[in-house]
């Protein structure tokens, strides 16, 4: 009971760590202080709060209106800075969302001048106005500039007009929902939870090894068989990718039919049976021809050979003498699955602190479930031992231990 209480408290603490940073979504134009953004500067600025999709027109002004320290040259430059800040981390509904920031020039700016509008998106509050590095500036492409950021972070958008450019640009902040990130979170959690079980499950190794063996045989046959085709080896990579990814589907059957037909023609067979398998859909035939039967037999043979290869690899290198998985291989697979699971969880959100908290919380939940399950099974085992009484022989006891 005490362990469960401590686990629950640790989970609540892990969830509350990234939520202590609270800020509202707003976008504002700093004019009084261009070197840093502190508390005094924020109170003197015109803050515009944005909820959902919001749009703001920005008109860069000449650097002469700012302090001379921000100027690096005598070129005619117009600059402006926009600060976009994220929502509170208490709003977990934005966990899988992103802020899409777009900038579009107004209609009064000619299209030929769009290349003179450059944007620098950064998160350095101490950086002066329009003082980004040369490689950090991005120009407007096809009348629009776009970038994405975490909904829980802040970002600075420095807009610079180079040369004789006058007008305004529209900055839009939109919150986009990416539901597929929740799928990544669920996959990561279940991989963490099932990693100890799957890593010691013998059928998992047999099925995965057989599938890999079939794909390996297909790749070998494709590389060797393409040498006999009239097209040579030009499309080997293309055919290999399709054959290994799509497996034994329609594409694979189609390519194998072409390969078998080409081989039959090279061996002097009749050309009447040289047509793709896909033609069977359009031609009403009463029976399969010799080419299709050879293709089907070849496909079955590939599956058998690949499955046998995978079975032999598992029996040779994975399974121990007592029929269980080698401890070293099981440990490696378990930690590999955990690494993949952590990667999935980190991809479930753009906010790094929240992703770290999600990983720690998932680990704590999985450890709590495992610790609760093991004592229950241990109690059942001890009760069964007491009720059954002493074993009749030590050999029988040793067999149960194995």
Q: Is the pLDDT of residue 398 over 60?
A: no
Residue 321 is predicted with a pLDDT of 83
pTM: 0.63
Distance in angstroms (rounded) separating the CA atoms of residues 269 and 183: 53
- Which tens digits make up the pLDDT trace of 291-346? 666 667 777 888 899 899 999 999 888 888 888 888 899 999 999 999 999 999 99
- Which tens digits make up the pLDDT trace of 178-190? 889 999 999 999 9
Residue 42 is predicted with a pLDDT of 39
Where is pLDDT greater, at 389 or 159?
159
Domains and CATH numbers, the chain: 21-177 (2.60.120), 202-318 (no CATH)
Element (H, E) at 118: strand 117-122
Q: Is the pLDDT of residue 61 over 90?
A: no
Residue 131 is predicted with a pLDDT of 85
Closest listed residue to residue 35, CA positions, set 63, 65, 69, 58: 69
- Which tens digits make up the pLDDT trace of 93-140? 889 888 898 898 988 888 888 888 899 998 888 888 888 888 889 888
Q: Is the pLDDT of residue 164 over 70?
A: yes
The DSSP string of 139-190 is E-BTTBEEEEE-TTSEEEEEEEEESS--S-EEEEEEEEE-THHHHHHHHHHH
Give the angle subtended at the CA of 247 by the CAs of 246 and 251, to the nearest 5°. Answer: 60
For the ranges 24-33, 56-65, 263-272, the lowest mean pLDDT is seen at: 24-33
Closest listed residue to residue 348, CA positions, set 150, 209, 169, 158: 150
Where is pLDDT greater, at 355 or 70?
355
CA atoms within 13 A on the CB side of 182: 9
Give the angle subtended at the CA of 104 by the CAs of 99 and 109, to the nearest 5°. Answer: 165
Average the pLDDT over 50-76 and give the result. Answer: 60
- Which tens digits make up the pLDDT trace of 341-351? 999 999 999 99
Calculate the average pLDDT of the chain.
71
Question: CB under 8 Å to 101, separation ≥6 — which residues?
Answer: 84, 121, 146, 147, 148, 149, 155, 157, 171, 172, 173
Question: CB under 8 Å to 59, separation ≥6 — which residues?
Answer: 80, 167, 168, 169
- Which tens digits make up the pLDDT trace of 362-372? 999 988 888 88
């Amino acid at each position: 009971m005490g362990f469960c209480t401590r686990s629950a408290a640790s989970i609540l603490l892990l969830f509350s760590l990234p939520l202590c940073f609270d800020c509202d979504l707003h976008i504002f134009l700093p004019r009084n202080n261009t070197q840093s953004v502190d508390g005094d500067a924020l109170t003197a600025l015109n803050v515009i709060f944005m909820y959902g999709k919001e749009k703001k027109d920005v008109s860069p002004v000449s650097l002469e209106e700012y302090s001379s320290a921000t100027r690096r040259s005598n070129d005619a430059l117009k600059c402006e800075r926009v600060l976009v800040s994220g929502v509170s981390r208490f709003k977990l509904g934005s966990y899988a969302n992103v802020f899409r920031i777009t900038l579009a020039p107004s209609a009064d700016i000619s299209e030929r001048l769009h290349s003179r509008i450059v944007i620098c998106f950064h998160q350095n509050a101490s950086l002066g106005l329009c003082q980004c590095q040369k490689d950090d500036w991005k120009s407007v492409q096809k009348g629009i500039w776009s970038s994405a950021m975490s909904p829980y972070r802040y970002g600075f958008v420095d807009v610079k007009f180079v040369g004789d450019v006058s007008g305004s640009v529209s900055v839009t902040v939109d919150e986009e929902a990416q539901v597929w990130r929740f799928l990544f979170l669920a996959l990561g959690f279940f991989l963490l939870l099932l990693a100890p079980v799957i890593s010691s499950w013998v059928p998992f190794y047999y099925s995965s090894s057989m599938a890999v063996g079939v794909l390996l045989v297909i790749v070998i046959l494709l590389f060797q068989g393409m040498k006999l085709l009239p097209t040579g080896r030009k499309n080997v990579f293309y055919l290999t990718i399709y054959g290994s990814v799509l497996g034994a589907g329609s594409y694979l059957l189609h390519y194998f039919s072409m390969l078998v037909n080409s081989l039959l023609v090279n061996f002097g067979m009749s050309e009447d049976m040289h047509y793709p398998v896909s033609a069977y859909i359009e031609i009403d035939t009463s029976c399969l021809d010799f080419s299709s039967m050879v293709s089907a037999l070849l496909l079955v043979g590939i599956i058998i050979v690949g499955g046998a290869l995978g079975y032999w690899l598992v029996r040779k290198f994975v399974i121990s003498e007592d029929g269980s998985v080698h401890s070293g291989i099981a440990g490696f697979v378990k930690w590999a699955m955990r690494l993949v699971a952590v990667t999935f969880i980190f991809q479930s959100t753009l906010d790094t602190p929240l992703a770290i908290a999600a990983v720690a919380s998932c680990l704590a939940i999985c450890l709590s479930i495992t610790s609760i399950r093991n004592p229950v099974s241990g109690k059942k085992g001890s009760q069964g031992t007491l009720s059954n009484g002493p074993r009749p022989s030590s050999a029988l006891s040793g067999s149960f231990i194995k």
